[in-house]
Chain A
Amino acid sequence: NAGVTQTPKFQVLKTGQSMTLQCAQDMNHEYMSWYRQDPGMGLRLIHYSVGAGITDQGEVPNGYNVSRSTTEDFPLRLLSAAPSQTSVYFCASRTGTGGADTQYFGPGTRLTVL
């Protein structure tokens, strides 16, 4: 049981490049989400999904796309990277859609956009 896994761990992009951050979980969780972490700002929700085929925007969705074709995978796409997207990205999952469930976080992807 690997929990929540993320790849890559580190990435450097040039402005305008695109890339996909991968996230997978093996706990059969319905709910998955992406956060970005910036110094002094805590974690901010980018996008989330309540199940395969269903996604919705969070607090800071601009510049990011997501899709959820399977329960296990929830990739995050940067279509045209900008320096403002330099951050640490965390994927998380939880069992249900209610607010009481514990979230399980991946180890993070540290992204630098030059």
Chain B
Amino acid sequence: AQSVTQLDSQVPVFEEAPVELRCNYSSSVSVYLFWYVQYPNQGLQLLLKYLSGSTLVKGINGFEAEFNKSQTSFHLRKPSVHISDTAEYFCAVSDPGSARQLTFGSGTQLTVLP
């Protein structure tokens, strides 16, 4: 079974500073990778996804992620965060050959401080 590890449960960062949220997955086969964001008291929405091709994926709100197959990682980055980026971020993986849904990591709470 696939698993996803988000190494940091909480990441505080000052406004306009860069941030990296780490994600590692365990799979020896091809996978699809996703980052979702959950704002307070809301459902999840897609930030970006990697299916194939270029390993650098750009998403909404200035976020990007880099797929690294050798390190089985898919870290999320933003060069300059805003207060409005405060939210919980989830990394997820799916198996292209399976009808089952996503396997999520435990989440990283990003708090942007003024």
Contacts and interface: CB of A to CB of B under 8 A. Distances in A.
Contacts, number: 69
A74 interface: no
Interface in A14-59: 31, 33, 35, 40-45, 48, 50, 56, 58
Interface string B36-55: 10000111111001010000
B18 to A, nearest CB: 25
Contacts of B90: 42-43
A45 B105 CA distance: 12
Interface residues of B, number: 28
B9 A107 contact: no
Interface in B72-114: 90, 94-107
10 contacts: A35-B104, A43-B44, A48-B100, A50-B99, A56-B99, A58-B100, A97-B99, A105-B43, A105-B45, A107-B42
Interface of A: 4, 31, 33, 35, 40-45, 48, 50, 56, 58, 90, 92, 97-100, 102-103, 105-108
